[in-house]
């Protein structure tokens, strides 16, 4: 058993925020969490900083210079996970942008192999497309769009080790197809869609449990045509991913959304591209050059192409831009996505029985260290831990 002691900070646990704590870890799992640190001689002084449950990102297209579509391999997944670890991500769904069925199959196989190989943080695969609406294609390549035919259905419903998450346009499938995906254990989300309110509502009733990057690439809320956004805000159960980078959605729209439905049904996501954790920011997406400047990723025509956001930045944005408390932001970055993925029993909180995954942040919410299974995975250079949140 290993004892991890922390003092003089804010430790976000399942039972509340503690100023000091001892976390007992055995076999990579938290055995106990107490507010007593004994004599404290070997305790880590957080100096006003934060210890939060490890972040879980359900939309990671790439990182460290690697795009998952280009390298759907164990090595590619490992490079992406390693690039995000310094920013507090201890669990991720590597995300495949619309591609051919053969590439989808390779990506799913590679994720299973990465999990078998023990690559830290890999939870499953998010297949975003190719069953999407042309009118809401975003940066996706429409030449790769296709119906949910028997071949693709068989690939998506094959039994897997990790979680499988699929984003589709509900107007391009039937409720029966959604039900078949759900029956096979697939987490079905809607996105890149022009569906109306009724079609969206029918998809929720058929088993859809998520909305991919709320507001982006979907029919908006109009007073006589509520669309996908209206259906999502009206519903109190589905999980909505949000990108808090100041580019994808206006802060005011996100604040309104947060007031419309339970906070625990929102998930912070990065929608990260290869530029996260990479020295060279610009990259190529399926033949399209993408320019990255001041955190904004755009194609030649100005279309947003994912993000240069990491999860620590998303948490910081939720606090400074949306007015959430750090503990609320932590829940949206860890607890809610764990629940969405069906992993509440093992991830998403600092509590007994959970994986010993956590992230240390300075007082201004800058990442200062990441642990997976109680072991340090990433520790940026020493940073001051006594600056207040701006």
- The pLDDT score that the predictor gives to residue 68 is 98
Q: How far apart are CA 174 and CA 202, in angstroms?
A: 9
Of residues 194, 196, 245, 271, which has the active-site annotation? 271
List phi, psi (to 5°) of 133.
-90, 130
Which residues carry a binding-site annotation for Zn(2+)? 128, 192, 213
Contact 89, 314 (CB under 8 A): no
Q: How far apart are CA 221 and CA 224, in angstroms?
A: 8
Tell me whether the omega of the peptide bond preceding residue 130 falls within 30 degrees of 0, making it cis. yes
- The pLDDT score that the predictor gives to residue 37 is 86
Residue numbers in the chain where pLDDT is lower than 50 = 381-390
Q: How many CA atoms lie within 13 A of 261 on its CB side?
A: 19
- The pLDDT score that the predictor gives to residue 69 is 98
Residue 143: Cβ within 10 Å count: 10
The number of residues in the chain equals 390
Closest Cα to residue 316, out of 338, 332, 294, 335?
332
Q: How far is CA 102 from the centre of its chain?
A: 25
Which residues carry a binding-site annotation? 128, 139, 192, 213, 216-217, 224, 248, 304-306
Q: How far apart are CA 126 and CA 96, in angstroms?
A: 6
In the chain, the domains with their CATH numbers are 2-52+350-378 (2.30.40.10), 54-340 (3.20.20.140)
Q: How far apart are CA 303 and CA 284, in angstroms?
A: 14
Which residues carry a binding-site annotation for substrate? 139, 216-217, 224, 248, 304-306
Q: How far is CA 252 from the centre of its chain?
A: 22
Residue 119: Cβ within 10 Å count: 18
Q: Say which residue the tokens 């669309």 belong to.
A: 227
| Residue 271 is a catalytic residue | yes
To 10 degrees, the CA torsion angle through 200, 203, 204, 208? -120
Residue 150: Cβ within 10 Å count: 8
pLDDT tens digits along 299-355:
999 999 999 999 999 999 999 999 999 999 999 999 999 999 999 999 999 999 999
- The pLDDT score that the predictor gives to residue 40 is 61
Closest Cα to residue 138, out of 288, 310, 309?
288
CA distances from 223 to 194, 197, 226, 229, 230 (A): 16, 12, 6, 11, 9
């Amino acid at each position: 058993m290993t004892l991890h002691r922390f003092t003089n900070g804010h430790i976000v646990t399942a039972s509340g925020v503690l100023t000091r704590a001892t976390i007992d870890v055995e076999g990579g799992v938290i055995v106990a969490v107490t507010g007593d640190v004994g004599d404290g001689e070997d305790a880590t002084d957080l100096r006003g900083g934060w210890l939060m449950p490890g972040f879980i990102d359900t939309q990671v297209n790439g990182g460290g210079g690697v795009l998952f579509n280009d390298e759907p391999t164990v090595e590619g997944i490992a490079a992406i996970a390693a690039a995000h670890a310094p920013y507090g991500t201890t669990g991720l769904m590597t995300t495949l942008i619309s591609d051919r069925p053969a590439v989808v199959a390779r990506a799913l196989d590679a994720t299973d192999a990465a999990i078998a190989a023990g690559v830290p943080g890999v939870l499953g695969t998010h297949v975003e497309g190719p069953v999407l609406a042309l009118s809401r294609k975003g940066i996706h390549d429409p030449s790769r769009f296709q119906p949910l035919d028997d071949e693709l259905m068989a690939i998506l419903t094959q039994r897997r080790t990790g979680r499988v998450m699929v984003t589709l346009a509900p107007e391009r499938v039937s409720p029966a197809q959604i039900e078949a995906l759900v029956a096979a254990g697939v987490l079905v989300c809607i996105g890149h869609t022009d569906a109306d309110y009724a079609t969206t509502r029918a998809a929720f009733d058929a088993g859809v449990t998520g909305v991919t990057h709320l507001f982006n690439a979907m029919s908006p809320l109009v007073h006589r045509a509520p669309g996908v956004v209206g259906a999502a805000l009206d519903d109190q159960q589905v999980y909505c991913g949000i990108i808090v980078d100041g580019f994808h959605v206006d802060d005011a729209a996100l604040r309104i959304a947060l007031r419309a439905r339970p906070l625990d049904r929102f998930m912070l996501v990065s929608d990260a591209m290869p530029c996260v954790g990479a020295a060279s920011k610009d990259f190529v997406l399926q033949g399209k050059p993408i320019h990255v400047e001041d955190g904004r990723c755009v194609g030649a025509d100005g279309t947003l192409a994912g993000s240069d956001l990491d999860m620590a930045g998303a948490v910081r944005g939720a606090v400074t831009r949306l007015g959430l408390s750090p503990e609320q932001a932590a829940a949206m970055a860890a607890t809610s996505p764990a629940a969405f993925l069906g992993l509440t029993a093992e991830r998403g909180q600092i509590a007994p029985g959970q994986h010993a995954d956590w992230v240390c942040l300075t007082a201004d919410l800058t990442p200062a260290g990441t642990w997976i299974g109680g072991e340090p995975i990433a520790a940026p250079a020493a940073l001051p831990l006594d600056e207040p949140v701006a």
